[in-house]
Amino acid sequence: DAKTTQPNSMESNEEEPVHLPCNHSTISGTDYIHWYRQLPSQGPEYVIHGLTSNVNNRMASLAIAEDRKSSTLILHRATLRDAAVYYCILRVNTGNQFYFGTGTSLTVIP
């Protein structure tokens, strides 16, 4: 299984930026980095993905280290609705599965 490591939990104040780290030292050249989040009582939802370059979308930004052994999901202004478990996943090009770890539980403080 493609392995990622994330902190178990993080806290952020509302309306402040949040940086969620992920280590994936065993990443290979064609593996994509995906992020999903899971709100309480819901299934996970897609957030963002990238290969080498930093990526932005309406939900978040993804910053990928130059050696690709780590990445950071950036929420630019945390809201209470962003409180969720965030999963960093390596999507191997030759595989057909998404392996979820235990993720990072984000608490947003009003």
Partner 1 sequence: DTGVSQNPRHKITKRGQNVTFRCDPISEHNRLYWYRQTLGQGPEFLTYFQNEAQLEKSRLLSDRFSAERPKGSFSTLEIQRTEQGDSAMYLCASSLDLGAVEKLFFGSGTQLSVL
The binding site for partner 1 (CB under 8 A) comprises: 30-32, 36, 41-46, 49, 51, 85, 87, 91-93, 96-103
Complex with partner 1: residue 6 or 70, whichever CB lies closer: 6
Complex with partner 1: residue 79 or 97, whichever CB lies closer: 97
Q: What DSSP state is assigned to residue 4? A: -
Torsion 54-101-67-77 (CA) sign: positive
The distance of closest approach from Cβ of residue 5 to partner 1 in the complex, given in angstroms and rounded to an integer, is: 13
The distance of closest approach from Cβ of residue 47 to partner 1 in the complex, given in angstroms and rounded to an integer, is: 10
Strands (DSSP E) found in 1-110 = 9-13, 18-23, 32-38, 45-50, 55-56, 61-64, 70-75, 84-91, 104-109
Complex with partner 1: residue 12 or 35, whichever CB lies closer: 35
